[in-house]
Structure 1
Amino acid sequence: MSDASALLGKQIELQLIGHNLFTGVLTDLSSDMLVLFTEQRFFYFPILHVRRFNLSTDSQKNSDISPPIGFYIAEEKTDMSYRKVLMYAKGIFSEIYVTGKISLHGYIMNVFNDYFTFYSPVYKLMYISLHHLKWLTPYTQGERPYSLTHEQFPINPTSLPLYRSLEEQLKTIEGKLVVFDGGEDPKRMGLLKKSENSMVELVTAKGERIYLNLTQIQTVHVP
């Protein structure tokens, strides 16, 4: 553990790549994951997207810090890692942020080599790249998205076969309409023609053929 562990239990300022700023208590730190307690919730940040963190400049915030309360994934685990946090979070109603202007609410269902499946009341089944998740925060145990009942929002696992890599998984939806990265860019939504050799071929609404770098695809949604 680096000298940064001296900040455990203290109020810190954290900046993500992309300039998102957070302030809270540093509650856990490993080689690939950082946990911050802020606004009564625990936020899990993959180190991959952390630009910097430092002791809060507000000295008053660092005095008499009360122990965090709220739901904490793997509270009794001492071997925290990014992948293990995702595994522990399976089936827990959580908020995640990947790209765009909004976060996603739902459940992690499966974790694979380079992506995980996420089930959302709004988007249903989504594929989320492990390399692009910016943060995850679980809600209180037992809480459900939008206060929906089980009848209103049953968790229905996909009937599609699930493969270990995102490239293999995209092959199962070739010939279908897909939305990449939230659909803000019209050149990242259309008919998926082929997924091969880390490239994805897409036909847009205007009939234009677009070739996308698979490693830069952050989320996948099949409408």
Structure 2
Amino acid sequence: MNALLAPYLKTCVEIDISGRKIPLSGMLVDVGSDLLVLFDQRDFFYVPLVHLRAFRRTRDDTGEENRQAVPREHENGLSCRQALTNAIGVFCEIYVTGNQPLYGYVVNVLNDYFVFDSPVHNTVFVAMRHLKYLAVPSAADAYAVSAWRGRKRSAPPPAVNLAKVFDQQIKKCEGQFVVLNLGEQPDKSGYLRKVEYPMLELVGGKGEASLLHAEHVQTIQLP
């Protein structure tokens, strides 16, 4: 455990993370090898340390009542990969980019990316290095639609041939229409004409081509 973070265990803190304007706040309940865990009396937030921009104590609130409110299974050290693996098949929330988190299910964890199944975005390949947080909400079903529970999968759709690493998965999408980074910007969707690592050539709807460095690809979807 990081010696600088250890004194803050079981205290209420507020953190700023990359790409998110609103801080996260809650009780610091665990510090793993590459992430920390916050509990806001409702949800657990697993936050990779690499995206931690600022960290501060909000108030001294370390009473026994609050310590006992934290379930024991979350008091063991974790890594980002372990947290994602534990979340397979569990309704959860992730934040990667833009103004809105994604809701759905982690269905597979590969070497440096994972597969996320969302009722809104369908299958999304997410680069692990760009995951800002993983949260486990108290709600049992995605968007309160119990029927969608039947769509939960422990593996990706049969038609999806997964590569071991994210760069190879991008290469597998060559020659197909793709949406990058959740389509937050208009030039991040189109026809992926060529991948010559580390550069990608993406062709827009009017035939205009643009180049993008693979390190800036946070998510990829096949519409």
Matched ranges for 1:184-195 at <5 A: 184-195=184-195
Among residues 68, 81, 84, which one is paired with 1:83 in the alignment? 81
Task: Kindly indicate whether the alpha-carbon contact (under 8 Å) linking 1:42 and 1:138 is maintained by their aligned counterparts in 2.
Answer: yes
Instruction: Give, in whole Å, the separation in 2 of the partners of 1:37 and 1:151.
Output: 27
Instruction: Give, in whole Å, the separation in 2 of the partners of 1:12 and 1:193.
Output: 46
Task: Kindly indicate whether the alpha-carbon contact (under 8 Å) linking 1:114 and 1:165 is maintained by their aligned counterparts in 2.
Answer: yes
Task: Kindly indicate whether the alpha-carbon contact (under 8 Å) linking 1:92 and 1:139 is maintained by their aligned counterparts in 2.
Answer: no
| Distance change (3 Å), C-alpha of 1:65 and 1:210 | farther
Instruction: Give, in whole Å, the separation in 1 of the partners of 2:218 and 2:26.
Output: 27
Matched, 1:8 2:35: no
Point out 4+ residue stretches in structure 1 off by more than 6 angstroms. Answer: none
| Distance change (3 Å), C-alpha of 1:152 and 1:117 | closer
| Distance change (3 Å), C-alpha of 1:95 and 1:76 | closer
Instruction: Give, in whole Å, the separation in 1 of the partners of 2:200 and 2:51.
Output: 24
Unaligned ranges ≥5, structure 2: none
Task: Kindly indicate whether the alpha-carbon contact (under 8 Å) linking 1:174 and 1:193 is maintained by their aligned counterparts in 2.
Answer: yes
CA RMSD of aligned residues (A): 2.3
| Distance change (3 Å), C-alpha of 1:153 and 1:209 | farther
Task: Return the offset for 1:68.
Answer: 6.3
Unaligned ranges ≥5, structure 1: none
Task: Kindly indicate whether the alpha-carbon contact (under 8 Å) linking 1:43 and 1:135 is maintained by their aligned counterparts in 2.
Answer: yes
Task: Return the offset for 1:154.
Answer: 1.8
Equivalent residue of 1:125, what SS?
A: strand
Instruction: Give, in whole Å, the separation in 2 of the partners of 1:120 and 1:17.
Output: 23
Instruction: Give, in whole Å, the separation in 2 of the partners of 1:188 and 1:96.
Output: 20
Task: Kindly indicate whether the alpha-carbon contact (under 8 Å) linking 1:94 and 1:136 is maintained by their aligned counterparts in 2.
Answer: yes
Aligned to 1:176: 176
Matched ranges for 1:34-183 at <5 A: 34-56=36-58, 58-59=59-60, 61-62=61-62, 66-67=66-67, 69=69, 75=73, 78-140=76-138, 143-150=140-147, 154-155=151-152, 157-158=156-157, 159-183=159-183
Task: Kindly indicate whether the alpha-carbon contact (under 8 Å) linking 2:42 and 2:138 is maintained by their aligned counterparts in 1.
Answer: no
Partner letter of residue 164 of structure 1?
K
Task: Kindly indicate whether the alpha-carbon contact (under 8 Å) linking 1:108 and 1:117 is maintained by their aligned counterparts in 2.
Answer: yes
Partner letter of residue 20 of structure 1?
I
**TM-score under structure 2 length normalisation:** 0.88
Aligned residue pair count: 218
Higher mean alpha-carbon deviation, 152-161 vs 38-47, is at: 152-161
Instruction: Give, in whole Å, the separation in 2 of the partners of 1:63 and 1:79.
Output: 22
Structure 1, residues 91-141: CA drift from partner, whole Å, max 9, x if none? Answer: 111011100111100011111122110000111111011111111111348
Structure 1, residues 18-57: CA drift from partner, whole Å, max 9, x if none? Answer: 453122100001231010111511111000100121221x
| Distance change (3 Å), C-alpha of 1:28 and 1:192 | same
Aligned to 2:216: 216
Percent identity, please: 35
**TM-score under structure 1 length normalisation:** 0.88
Structure number with higher helix proportion: 2
Aligned to 2:200: 200
Task: Kindly indicate whether the alpha-carbon contact (under 8 Å) linking 1:178 and 1:221 is maintained by their aligned counterparts in 2.
Answer: yes
